[in-house]
Amino acid sequence: MRKIFISIAAVLIAGTAVSTAQQKPAVDRAKADAAVKSAFPSAPADWQPRLVQDETMKQCSAHDNLPPKAVGEAIQKRERATIEYPADGQFMGDWKRGERIAQSGYGLRFTDYPPRNPNGGNCYACHQLTKAELSFGTVGPSLLNYGGIRKFGAAETKAVYEKIYNAHASYPCSLMPRLGSNKVLTIEQIKDVVALVMSPDSPVNK
């Protein structure tokens, strides 16, 4: 009996040693929150809520963006519930306006306060979209020919609308901002960007 107990203990200790070696140093969340808050002392009052994590951001931070299944499902459910759909049932607007929105990083910066122009979606900061634009980020996948690959399908078009409105609804702890739910883009602007991604005439699919 004692022998069995000792060998179980040895396995447990060995297991702990392995997992400890693989873990990153723990971050003191309270210190991190305080650092974020103190970094924006002159943020206007209506910006203060942006310095406080909502439930989803808290859960993503707690799990280093890799939530366990149940937490991930709870995030998806909560975020999906925030998606508002176009009143006319149309998911595609004007791709030319969409390209300007995708190019624009205007909005929500100190220099944009008070706002003088509509916000942009800053899509190129993370995605390749067209062949013509050579400057793009790679945090997100390339969207070149995205609509063509998906045969310009209706369900796929709706999915792009939902992705832009709230990326966490399909991918909990996505690195893509919740552009609709966080009121960065309007429903009309999102439709224009959907057209850029999904329209057969758009330079994304040419």
Which chain residues interact with ligand HEC by CB under 6 A?
Answer: 102, 121-123, 125-127, 139-141, 143, 160, 163-164, 167, 171, 174-177, 179, 193, 197
The distance of closest approach from Cβ of residue 3 to ligand HEC in the complex, given in angstroms and rounded to an integer, is 50
The distance of closest approach from Cβ of residue 16 to ligand HEC in the complex, given in angstroms and rounded to an integer, is 33
Of 5 and 186, which CB lies nearer to ligand HEC in the complex structure? 186
The distance of closest approach from Cβ of residue 110 to ligand HEC in the complex, given in angstroms and rounded to an integer, is 19
Of 43 and 100, which CB lies nearer to ligand HEC in the complex structure? 100
The distance of closest approach from Cβ of residue 168 to ligand HEC in the complex, given in angstroms and rounded to an integer, is 8
Neighbours of 142 (CB within 10 A): 11
The label of the residue with tokens 């399908």 reads: 153
Those residues with Cβ within 8 angstroms of residue 77's Cβ, 6 or more apart along the chain or in another chain: none
The span from the CA of 197 to the CA of 53, in Å, is: 30
Of 115 and 141, which CB lies nearer to ligand HEC in the complex structure? 141
Those residues with Cβ within 8 angstroms of residue 119's Cβ, 6 or more apart along the chain or in another chain: 104, 106, 107, 108, 184, 185, 189
Of 14 and 36, which CB lies nearer to ligand HEC in the complex structure? 36
Q: What does the CA dihedral 41, 42, 45, 49 come to, rounded to 10 degrees? A: -50
